[in-house]
Structure 1
């Protein structure tokens, strides 16, 4: 008897992934990470934003003295469950030299799951949607480039969130 994993969706789920890098050859690493996502079983990449540069954000806020980040967003579909997708993105980060020594520290590659369909969850392993996505222009701007009608579950229109954020800057 085959038993279905209850955390795995029956159909594909739309996901938004944010990628960033501020160490090494940032552009080459991000392009390779997108290629890795394209060949990940159970993941279909639908769109990739242009890459934008942003100031590093640390636990203490923006840090102009740290190497700048290159960021982008990927729209994809997956039949993987949320934790399976997290494991897949972590493997890609590791393959590109990601070291988790310092929270919010510099890194060769960071892949965040911003949304997983309409799923809203909060646990020590994975919070969805990403808890700080609404505060990050380097996530919102490339996402809007790909989907001007995007919605962040529980928070509303990404365009409206970006306008609110712009008024705070």
Structure 2
């Protein structure tokens, strides 16, 4: 089994409920076990500011699903929960991103692991610190060091 980390985000249609439903769906993925989930955090949107605040979290799983199969399953969950992509970094019912997949580094047209910009995103790093504060990324960087470089953040635990 491979340990993977999944970022969850929503800012439409009762976001907390969306994340809870997504976690239930992740728990039901074949040959996958949900190990832990961070606190839920409210954060400002990364993109256009004319949209509601987000609710974000990170889940730690173990799976035997290959990275692209896991991506397919996560996209199915997004679609099942009514995901519509209106604009880049825009509002969404549900966003599920694979942050890490073991110590793999993957460059594929559909998938980049580690997630291409996770190191700059407090809404990823802070929840990840909740569940794996001693994590070392595939590039050898310690998660705690990344968190220090983010400085203070304006996210609120929900």
TM-score by length of 1: 0.87
The answer to whether the 8 Å contact 2:5/2:99 transfers is: yes
SS of residue in 2 equivalent to 1:18: strand
Structure 1 residue 104 displacement after superposition: 1.6
Deviations 1:86-111 (A, max 9, x none): 00000000011101232221100000
Match of 1:131 in 2: 116
Q: Does 1:36 align with 2:25?
A: yes
SS of residue in 1 equivalent to 2:148: helix
Match of 2:59 in 1: 74
The answer to whether the 8 Å contact 2:129/2:143 transfers is: yes
Structure 1 residue 64 displacement after superposition: 3.9
For 1:1-169, what aligned pairs fall within 5 Å after superposition?
A: 12-58=1-47, 63-154=48-139, 156-166=141-151
TM-score by length of 2: 0.92
Deviations 1:8-67 (A, max 9, x none): xxxx10000000001110001100100000011121100011100110011xxxx44321
Q: For the residues of structure 2 that align with 1:41 and 1:139, how far apart are their CA atoms?
A: 25
Deviations 1:92-149 (A, max 9, x none): 0001110123222110000000000011011210000000110111111111111110
106-115 vs 64-73, which moves further: 64-73
Structure 1 residue 167 displacement after superposition: 7.2
Q: For the residues of structure 2 that align with 1:154 and 1:107, how far apart are their CA atoms?
A: 31
Q: Structure 2 stretches of 5 or more lacking a match?
A: none
Larger radius of gyration: 1
Q: For the residues of structure 1 that align with 2:153 and 2:22, how far apart are their CA atoms?
A: 32
The answer to whether the 8 Å contact 2:122/2:153 transfers is: no
Structure 1 residue 168 displacement after superposition: 10
Q: For the residues of structure 2 that align with 1:158 and 1:64, how far apart are their CA atoms?
A: 28
Q: How many residues align?
A: 154
Q: For the residues of structure 2 that align with 1:25 and 1:132, how far apart are their CA atoms?
A: 26
